[in-house]
């Protein structure tokens, strides 16, 4: 392997042929470096050896056992074979069985010690391990403490991945891979060398070692992300957006049924400054404001400015319901101002669509409101001036880029669904300037919020019944139950203390049945994640009509729903929800004239979870809540990764930074990125080339989306 280095194709590794290389390529692994950065998704802590006697039925664990009988193979009816032997430790005996793996009978001999890993079954006094993993115990050759579990694809196995990664680590040892981190970060946080960290993340021998390695890769991800975002921000500064002239806003305000709040006025002025900026650098602004803070009015004000300047504008919402709502609200107001406005959605008929598209193109429409149907190629504007997206977090960077491309050189305004603190905005919208609507329109009611534990259940049930008999309605939200496939694995974020303190999940179906039995006079209904959208709509509609008193639901109730008669929100296993999510849920009640309550039920023994829930009882301010949430959970939870759609961030995906628990890290990464770019804006210096290669990858993804 003389000339091979980490930039070489994986084909150069022993055991990687054309077919396997293709499978690896499907996972985004082309080079040896890519393979080295293919980190385990979890670890089996095999060094944590247990005694047979101390484990329960169904426990997955590691055991060191001595083979006590010679393996025997029997052929079963369906031509399957069963190989069986017994093995012991000081606490007891266990049957070990393997199906269709005759060869194991030649491996195990009486008196030999093996380390087994598997799920123990206990039937009466009989213990067995079915098809466990095993490693021989050999004097002077210690077994690894942790066993990595890799994300796989196609016919790849864990064993195979471990083997080729070991070969890749050998290559890395000889080839000094450049460190992308600036020396400042390395020194400031005592980050170990790249090679050490690569070995440690694949084969850690202790939690401390894993922690040290993870720290490096967190910084690598945060720093490259910060560079990419900062560079794209610099890039948009070149824009050639139209320069608007100031217009008389009193005409606009006079047709609105209410006066703008001070915060709305300020935000509108900030947007006006951007759009009237003589430099021609377009507006790229995010409006952050709590639910109900009045973002729509700000959007409408900007649309008014664009139209009075002779330009067209688009307002895009994530769902048809929300788009239609905007159209109904704004259409009336725009009509009074002589502004021509249309709605374009998936359900608009083909004939209507044709007419609307034609009028957009010839300039006879001023404003278009719609869903991402607006993103299709044949939607063209005569004079695009302003593109607004509402509830942006549901769109990825790529969709936003595609939308920006629709109105090349137009102003961009984004409105967040929930207020987000600056640090978080940096993560999600680092390329945008920020405006906060930090004041609510007058007359909003506070929802009284309590956290309770199981001991309160009877009283709570009484309260539900009382509310129902008074004609009010209740939402009860239970978390969806996760799959159990990762049993026995130690996740990267494994915390044994946390495990102990995790309360059992409520099963929504049983919950609803029990509640109904308990209160026969109350109408209880269930809405769960596996129902078809149409069924969910029906249940929701029945609840809105008051035909249901108590709605037990596993899914987060749609943001759009408005049932003013609902006065009680109960969240079970509240520790499972993010604070912003809880805030959103709480926002479903307190919409009518009746006093409303939110009860968070949790038996969590975890002090951090308890502290998070406490926050909810202290404030109704969405921004305050998301600041606390960020502080308590760390920014990692909010970073995009491949699995969580909530974390979708266009082309970005984070492997380890999601474990970052320090908000300051991200801000620091941005400071370092700025420092690097101030000195070398295009990353052309030798020491910045490795980082540039990664950043270019990000840009590639984004600009592909635009074309």
Residues that bind ligand ADP (CB under 6 A): 258, 260-261, 264, 289, 291-297, 441
For residue 64, report the phi and psi dihedrals to the nearest 5 degrees.
-100, 115
What length is written for the chain? 707
Residue 141: strand, helix, or coil: strand
Residue recorded with tokens 């507006």: 283
- CB-based burial, 537-566: b 16+ in 10 Å, e otherwise: eebbeebbeeebbbbbbbbebebeeebebb
- Nearest approach, Cβ of 296 to ligand ADP (angstroms)? 3
Q: Which is nearer to ligand ADP, 300 or 519 (CB)?
A: 300
Burial of 229 (0-12, 13-18, 19+ CB in 10 A): buried
Pick between residue 291 and residue 460 the one whose CB is nearest to ligand ADP: 291
Phi, psi torsion values for 659, nearest 5 degrees:
-100, 5
| Nearest to ligand ADP of 103, 258 (CB atom) | 258
CB of residue 258 vs ligand ADP: minimum separation in angstroms?
4
Closer of 261 and 348 to ligand ADP (Cβ): 261
Q: Which is nearer to ligand ADP, 294 or 407 (CB)?
A: 294
Going edge to edge, which strands form the sheet with 284-289? 341-344, 367-370, 312-316, 384-390, 411-415, 284-289, 433-437
Rounded CA separation 556/274 (Å): 37
Sign, CA torsion 483/486/491/497:
positive
CA dihedral (533, 534, 537, 543) positive or negative = negative
How would you write 649-672 as a 3-class SS string? ECEECCCCHHHCCCHHHHHHHHHH
Task: Provide the minimum distance between the beta carbon of 561 and ligand ADP in the complex, in angstroms, as a whole number.
Answer: 13
Q: Which phi and psi angles does 448 have, rounded to 5°?
A: -70, 130
Between residues 296 and 581, which has the closer beta carbon with respect to ligand ADP? 296
Which residue sits closest to ligand ADP, CB atoms considered?
A: 294
Please, what is the minimum distance in Å from the beta carbon of residue 246 to ligand ADP?
21
For residue 315, give the nearest of 372, 379, 355 by alpha carbon.
372
Q: How far is the CB of 298 from ligand ADP (least distance, A)?
A: 8
- For residue 155, the 8-state DSSP code is T
Placement of tokens 């030999």 in the chain: 112
The CB-of-641 to ligand ADP minimum distance in angstroms stands at 28
Residue with token string 């695009």? 384
Q: Smaller CB distance to ligand ADP: residue 389 or 676?
A: 389
Cβ nearer to ligand ADP, comparing 19 with 444: 444
∠ CA 120-42-104, rounded to 5°: 45
Non-local (6+) Cβ contacts of 431 within 8 A are: 229, 232, 233, 236, 284
Q: What is the closest distance, in whole angstroms, from the C-beta atom of residue 166 to ligand ADP in the complex?
A: 54
Q: Would you state the structure tokens that stand for residue 566, as one six-digit string?
A: 């609902």
Please state the closest distance from residue 290 (CB atom) to ligand ADP, in A: 7
In 3D space, the residue among 462, 593, 576, 453 whose CA is nearest the CA of residue 585 turns out to be: 576
Q: What is the 3-state secondary structure (H, E, C) of 679-698?
A: HCCCCCCHHHHHHHHHHHHH
Which residue lies nearer to ligand ADP by CB, 291 or 452?
291
Residue among 437 and 526 whose Cβ is closer to ligand ADP:
437
**CB-nearer residue toward ligand ADP: 86 or 435:** 435
Q: How far is the CB of 261 from ligand ADP (least distance, A)?
A: 5
Inter-residue contact 373 to 318 (CB < 8 Å): no
Indicate the residue among 151 and 441 with the shorter CB distance to ligand ADP. 441
Nearest approach in angstroms of CB 292 to ligand ADP is 4
Q: Which residue number, 156 or 556, has a Cβ lying nearer to ligand ADP? A: 556
Smallest distance from ligand ADP to CB 264, Å: 6
Buried-state track 304-320, b at ≥16 Cβ within 10 A, e below 16: bbbbbbebbbbbbbbbb
Q: How far is the CB of 693 from ligand ADP (least distance, A)?
A: 41
CB 335 to ligand ADP: min, Å: 17
Smallest distance, ligand ADP to C-beta of residue 640, A: 24
Nearer to ligand ADP, 297 or 360 (CB): 297
137 or 249, CB closer to ligand ADP?
Answer: 249
**Distance between CA atoms of residues 205 and 50, nearest Å:** 18
Q: What is the maximal distance between C-alpha atoms in the chain?
A: 93
Q: Element (H or E) spanning 600, and its range?
A: strand 597-601
User: Rounded to whole angstroms, how far apart are CA atoms 643 and 675?
Assistant: 32
Q: How far is the CB of 417 from ligand ADP (least distance, A)?
A: 8
CA–CA dist 558, 560 (Å, integer): 5
């Amino acid at each position: 392997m003389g000339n091979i280095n980490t930039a070489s194709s994986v084909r150069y590794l022993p055991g990687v042929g054309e077919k396997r290389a293709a499978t690896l390529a499907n996972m985004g692994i082309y080079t040896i470096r890519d393979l080295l950065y293919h980190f385990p998704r979890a670890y089996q802590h095999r060094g944590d050896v247990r005694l047979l006697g101390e484990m329960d039925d169904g426990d997955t664990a590691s055991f060191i056992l001595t083979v006590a009988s010679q393996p025997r193979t029997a052929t079963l009816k369906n031509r399957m074979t069963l190989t069986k032997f017994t093995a012991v430790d000081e606490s007891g005996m266990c049957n070990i069985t393997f199906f269709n793996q005759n060869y194991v009978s030649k491996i195990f001999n009486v008196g030999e010690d093996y380390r087994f890993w598997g799920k123990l079954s206990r039937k009466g006094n009989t213990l067995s391990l079915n098809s466990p993993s095993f490693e021989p115990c050999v004097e002077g050759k210690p077994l690894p403490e942790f066993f990595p579990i890799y994300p796989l694809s196609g016919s790849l196995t864990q064993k195979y991945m471990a083997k080729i990664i070991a070969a890749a680590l050998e290559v890395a040892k000889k080839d000094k891979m450049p460190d992308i981190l600036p020396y400042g970060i390395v020194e400031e946080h005592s980050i170990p060398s790249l090679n050490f960290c690569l070995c440690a993340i694949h084969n850690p021998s202790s939690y401390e070692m894993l922690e040290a390695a993870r720290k490096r890769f967190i910084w690598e991800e945060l720093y490259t992300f910060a560079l990419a975002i900062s560079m794209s921000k610099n890039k948009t500064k070149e824009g050639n957006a139209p320069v608007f002239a100031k217009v008389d806003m009193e005409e606009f305000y006079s047709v609105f049924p209410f006066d703008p709040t001070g915060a709305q006025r300020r935000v509108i002025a900030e947007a006006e400054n951007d759009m009237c900026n003589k430099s021609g650098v377009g507006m790229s602004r995010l409006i952050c404001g709590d639910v109900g803070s009045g973002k729509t009015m700000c959007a409408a004000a900007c649309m008014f400015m664009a139209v009075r300047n002779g330009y067209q504008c688009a307002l895009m919402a994530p769902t048809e319901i929300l788009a239609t709502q905007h159209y109904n609200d704004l259409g009336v107001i725009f009509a009074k101002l002589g502004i021509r406005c249309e709605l374009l959605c998936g359900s608009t008929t083909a004939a209507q669509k044709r007419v609307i598209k034609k009028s957009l193109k010839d300039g006879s429409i001023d404003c278009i409101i719609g869903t991402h149907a607006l993103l299709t190629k044949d939607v063209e504007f005569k004079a695009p001036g302003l593109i607004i997206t509402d509830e942006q977090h549901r769109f990825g960077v790529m969709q936003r880029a595609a939308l920006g491309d629709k109105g090349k050189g137009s102003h961009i305004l984004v409105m967040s669904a929930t207020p987000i603190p600056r640090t978080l905005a940096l993560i999600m919208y680092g390329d945008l300037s920020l405006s906060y609507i930090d004041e609510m329109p007058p007359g909003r009611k506070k929802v009284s919020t309590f956290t309770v534990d199981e001991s309160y259940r009877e009283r709570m049930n009484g309260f539900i019944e009382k509310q129902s008999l008074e004609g009010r309605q209740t939402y009860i939200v239970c978390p969806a139950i996760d799959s159990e496939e990762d049993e026995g694995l130690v996740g990267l974020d494994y915390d044994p203390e946390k495990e102990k303190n995790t309360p059992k999940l409520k099963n929504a179906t049983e919950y609803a049945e029990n509640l109904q039995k308990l209160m026969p006079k109350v109408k209880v209904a269930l809405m769960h994640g596996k129902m078809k959208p149409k069924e969910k709509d029906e249940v929701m509609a029945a609840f809105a009509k008051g035909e249901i008193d108590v709605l037990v639901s596993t899914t987060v109730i749609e943001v759009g729903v408005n049932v003013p008669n609902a006065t009680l929100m109960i969240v079970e296993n509240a520790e499972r929800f993010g604070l912003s999510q809880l805030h959103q849920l709480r926002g479903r009640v307190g919409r009518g004239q009746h006093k409303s309550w939110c009860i968070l039920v949790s038996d969590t023994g975890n002090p951090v979870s308890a502290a998070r829930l406490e926050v909810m009882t202290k404030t109704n301010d969405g921004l305050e809540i998301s600041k606390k949430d960020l502080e308590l959970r760390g920014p990692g939870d909010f970073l995009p990764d491949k699995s969580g759609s909530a974390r979708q961030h266009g082309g970005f995906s984070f492997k380890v930074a999601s474990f970052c628990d320090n908000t300051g890290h991200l801000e620091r990464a941005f400071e370092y990125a700025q420092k690097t770019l101030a000195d070398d804006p295009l990353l052309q210096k030798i020491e910045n080339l490795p980082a540039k290669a990664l950043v270019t990858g990000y840009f590639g993804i984004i600009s592909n989306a635009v074309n």
